[in-house]
């Protein structure tokens, strides 16, 4: 199992950052465009809540795939946790934490995942997936930061990019 942890400071209120991070439309608008990621089942738009599921369809490593996650914990505006129910990984859990620190919101993501396929999967985790997943989360968080620091304004424009 691999753990990837990232952290970013956002000059925006904690409540706004929390809600943007769990907004399905914002999620789709802030991930890499080449993945063509979109929500196709469960909650497909707006804010996801505890106990709800979402299925995203995306292309990673030239393979179109689906990943279904459930929000298994939510304490607004401090933490929410999503856990993979079905998908390409053997297991995956993503903890999103928010802390007000000196006038900014510190957003910390902890992504824990394990690849299938035994030793081959273990090699893939260490050689490829850890770096790929870190870049994926960091890039998405920088895009979310830009939206949050504009006060969540221009949301429609953000969704169309």
pLDDT, one tens digit per residue, over 35-86 is 888 999 999 999 999 999 999 998 877 779 999 999 999 999 999 999 999 9
Residue 33, pLDDT score: 81
The CATH number for 2-153, chosen from 3.40.50.300, 3.40.630.20, 3.40.250.10, 3.30.530.20, is 3.30.530.20
Entry pTM: 0.88
pLDDT digits (tens, 9 = 90+) for 141-156: 999 999 999 987 655 4
Residue 9: what pLDDT? 98
- The residue among 45, 40, 4, 56 whose CA lies nearest residue 22 is 45
Report pLDDT for 115. 83
User: Domain limits of the chain?
Assistant: 2-153
Distance from C-alpha of 8 to C-alpha of 32, rounded to nearest angstrom? 18
- The predicted-structure confidence for 118-135, as pLDDT tens digits, reads as follows 776 667 667 778 898 999
Write out the H or E segment, with its range, that includes residue 63. strand 63-75
Q: What does the alpha-carbon distance between residue 77 and residue 139 come to, in Å, rounded to a whole number?
A: 22
- Give the pLDDT of residue 142: 96
98-104's contacts with Cβ under 8 Å and 24+ in sequence apart are 98/14, 98/17, 98/18, 98/21, 99/14, 100/14, 101/9, 103/11, 104/9, 104/10, 104/11, 104/12
Query: What local confidence, expressed as pLDDT, does residue 158 receive?
Result: 45
Q: Name which of 30-34, 87-91, 110-114 the model is least confident about.
A: 30-34
Residues 6+ apart with CB under 8 A from 67: 55, 56, 58, 84, 86, 87, 88, 89, 92
Is the Cβ–Cβ distance between 55 and 41 less than 8 Å? yes
**pLDDT on residue 159:** 47
């Amino acid at each position: 199992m691999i753990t990837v942890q990232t952290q970013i400071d956002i000059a925006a209120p904690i409540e706004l950052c929390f809600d943007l991070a769990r907004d399905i439309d914002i999620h789709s608008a802030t991930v890499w465009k080449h993945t063509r990621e979109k929500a196709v089942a469960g909650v497909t738009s707006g804010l996801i809540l505890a106990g709800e599921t979402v299925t995203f369809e995306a292309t990673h490593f030239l393979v179109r795939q689906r990943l279904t996650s459930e929000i298994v914990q939510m304490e607004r505006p401090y933490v929410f946790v999503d856990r993979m129910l079905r998908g390409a990984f053997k297991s995956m859990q993503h903890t999103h934490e928010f802390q007000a620190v000196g006038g900014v919101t510190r957003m910390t993501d902890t992504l824990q995942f394990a690849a299938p396929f035994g030793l081959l999967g273990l090699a893939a985790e260490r050689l490829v997936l850890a770096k790929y997943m870190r870049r994926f989360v960091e890039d998405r968080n920088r895009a979310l930061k830009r939206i949050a620091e504009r006060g969540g304004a221009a949301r429609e424009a953000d969704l169309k990019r």
